[in-house]
Structure 1
Amino acid sequence: MKIDYTLSDDIAVTSTDAARVEKEGYGGAWVGETRHDPFMQCLQAATATASITVGTSIAIAFARTPMTLANLGYDLAQYSEGRFVLGLGSQIKPHIEKRFSMPWSHPAPRMRELLLGIRAIWDSWQNGTKLDFRGDFYTHTLMTPFFTPKPQAFGPPSIYLAGVGPGMTEVAGEAADGFIVHPFTTVRYIEEVTIPALLRGRARAGKDDLEGFTICGPSFVTLGRTEAEMERSVAATKKQIAFYGSTPAYRPVFEMHGWGEVQPELTTLSKQGRWDDMASLITDDILGEFSVVGTPEEVGRGLRAKIGDIYARTTLYDSGGSDQAHWPAVLDAAS
């Protein structure tokens, strides 16, 4: 299992941070889509590094079309010399419609078609096949020589898809090269819900197992070397778990462990703006299911033991309560 690093949204330090994490031994550098365009940050990270994976975790798929995503992914594969991964996610309806002014409907079928459309476009560019993709949501039938990129030595990038529910997870198994597990998950949920859904999707693509398919994602870490550090880290992680748990779509994760009643309580408090009170509903048992807790060395060994047989790569998801100066020790212990 490789330990990766999530770059900050401070675009002034993207290049220097990417170079630093490569030197420190991380396996990859990922960029989320929050305040800035993640693809421009990935370009900066790719040009500042030589060997590590660079990818989006995640870029918002429905804010774009298959053609725009195909262009971005294809170009970044060349800029990075084959190290780029196109990580995509759906976001939620209000953001797609009200923030991006883009259509929202049937997210899992739409995502499946979007991924297949991207692959059809890449096949046209890389192999010279006629572009004739016709779907319910996207249609791409025009590709003239003036607008056709030349085939490249590195080929198109891998596509990883993020999801939580079985529907989107099945799409990942069928049409993507990897799955980005949401941080609001547990090992039991992965084993009993996520992996079976991935296998159903793989079966639709004519594949019997997960061979060659990458499971990855952020992992909550709660760490410190002193009592005060641990208190800050525990408080921050519980607050983040509570924030995610307030989303009704994530209730099945709670329900699997018998904590279903916690979710509507979190939603109620969030609607009242009582964000600090929400963390009090996250017990130590809940914390232990979602996060690895302990000293940096204990967290490193715990990550390996907890998800090392499931994830091919993970990032350390710290909620702002721990000192990142301790992270190299986590990396060493997890190796």
Structure 2
Amino acid sequence: MKLDSGGYADTVSEAADAVAAAESAGYDGAWVAETKLDPFLALAVAAERTSRIDLVTGIAVAFARNPMTVAVAANDLQLLSGGRFVLGLGSQVKPHIAKRFGMPWSKPAARMREFVLAVRAIWAAFESGDKPAFAGEFYTHTLMTPFFNPGPNPHGNPRIWLAAVGPLMAEVAGEVADGLLCHSFSTERYLREVTVPAIERGRAKTGKGLAGFEISGPSFVASGSTDEEIEAAIAETRSQIAFYGSTPSYRPVLELHGWGDLQDELNALAKRGRWTEMPALVTDEVLHAFAVVGDPASAAAEIGRRYGDIAQRMTLTTSGPPDPARWAPVFAALRQGA
């Protein structure tokens, strides 16, 4: 299992420093999320500071952009990094797309499918020198003059991974992408009973199985070397679970476990801005379903038990700044057991 590092940086410099630190610590990949910064810019800086590690947008918000801008940025990063870039895309949720980015929202799974196909059509035009001939329901790309065509990328096209929670998006990932970024707000049961079967349906549409398709497993890990560190990590993880659980789009994960009412309670508190009250609603049963909890050795063993036969990668991430050193003991235990 490959291990990636990730987190939520405040600045481009902080994110790039974390990627460089992850490479020095031996990680296989590093994600930069689109929160307070542009992940493409951060990874461009990180590409200059690293030589081996996979560089992943984890995630870039697809619907805040268009396929042409994403295709060009991804092509540039693939070239700059020597073939180490992975284009991780996610849809975000309707309020953010419509109210924060001021972009259209409709049929997210269908739109994402078309978005990825359009990006691939543009890359094909870069390679062939021909005009793209992509005309869909949401995007049309039919113009490419030599002045704007960068030509074939000597490192090939980047891999594309999609973030998915619902089965429709997971099926799209199986059909048109090279991998799936399993949202942190997922459980082993949901992954096995909902996500993987959906990926398989998508792969079947193109006559493919799961071979060669990369799944990055859920990443809530509450670990530490002392009881105090573990308790602090648990508190942080409860807050994360409560935050995601308040989002209606993620309700199906809770409903699978019979916890649909929890989503109503969390959502009601979130709407009133009572964020500090929300973690208390995350019971130990809910915590342990979503998160791996324990000292580094036991956490590593549990990650392997839950996801060793499903996921090809794991990302150890928290809500705080990227800190590869924080996860070094878990990383070492996972590597020792690999």
Report the TM-score, using the length of structure 2 for normalisation.
0.94
Paired letter, 2:313? R
Q: Tell me, what secondary structure is at the counterpart of 1:219?
A: coil
Deviation at 1:205, TM superposition (A): 1.9
Paired letter, 2:263? Q
**Quick one: distance in 2 between partners of 1:76 and 1:326?**
28
Partner of 2:331: 331
**Quick one: distance in 2 between partners of 1:326 and 1:70?**
34
Higher relative CO (Cα under 8 Å, sequence separation at least 6) belongs to: 2
Q: How many residues of Structure 1 are paired with residues of Structure 2 in the alignment?
A: 334
CA 1:231–1:138: 2 relative to 1, 3 Å? same
Partner of 2:132: 131
**Quick one: distance in 2 between partners of 1:319 and 1:304?**
23
**Percent of matched pairs sharing the same residue:** 54
**Quick one: distance in 2 between partners of 1:19 and 1:320?**
17
Where do 4+ consecutive residues of structure 1 move more than 4 Å? 323-326
Deviation at 1:265, TM superposition (A): 1.0
Q: How does 1:83-232 map to 2 (within 5 A)?
A: 83-207=84-208, 209-232=209-232
**Quick one: distance in 1 between partners of 2:215 and 2:194?**
14
1:186-225 CA distances to partner (integer Å, 9 max, x unpaired)? 0110111001111111122222x11111111451111123
**Quick one: distance in 2 between partners of 1:87 and 1:324?**
20
Q: How does 1:1-335 map to 2 (within 5 A)?
A: 1-7=1-7, 8-207=9-208, 209-320=209-320, 325-335=325-335
**Quick one: distance in 1 between partners of 2:284 and 2:39?**
35
Deviation at 1:324, TM superposition (A): 6.5
Give the gaps of 5 or more residues in structure 1: none
Deviation at 1:317, TM superposition (A): 2.4
**Quick one: distance in 1 between partners of 2:148 and 2:302?**
50
Paired letter, 1:30? W
Paired letter, 2:301? R
1:79-110 CA distances to partner (integer Å, 9 max, x unpaired)? 01110000000111221122222111111111
Paired letter, 1:140? H
Deviation at 1:235, TM superposition (A): 1.4
Q: Tell me, what secondary structure is at the counterpart of 1:131?
A: coil
Deviation at 1:20, TM superposition (A): 1.9
**Quick one: distance in 2 between partners of 1:45 and 1:160?**
19
**Quick one: distance in 2 between partners of 1:213 and 1:79?**
25
Report the TM-score, using the length of structure 1 for normalisation.
0.95
Deviation at 1:138, TM superposition (A): 0.6
Q: Tell me, what secondary structure is at the counterpart of 2:260?
A: coil
CA 1:69–1:324: 2 relative to 1, 3 Å? closer
User: Cα RMSD between the aligned structures?
Assistant: 1.8
Q: Tell me, what secondary structure is at the counterpart of 1:12?
A: helix
**Quick one: distance in 2 between partners of 1:91 and 1:102?**
12
CA 1:129–1:213: 2 relative to 1, 3 Å? farther
**Quick one: distance in 2 between partners of 1:313 and 1:329?**
17
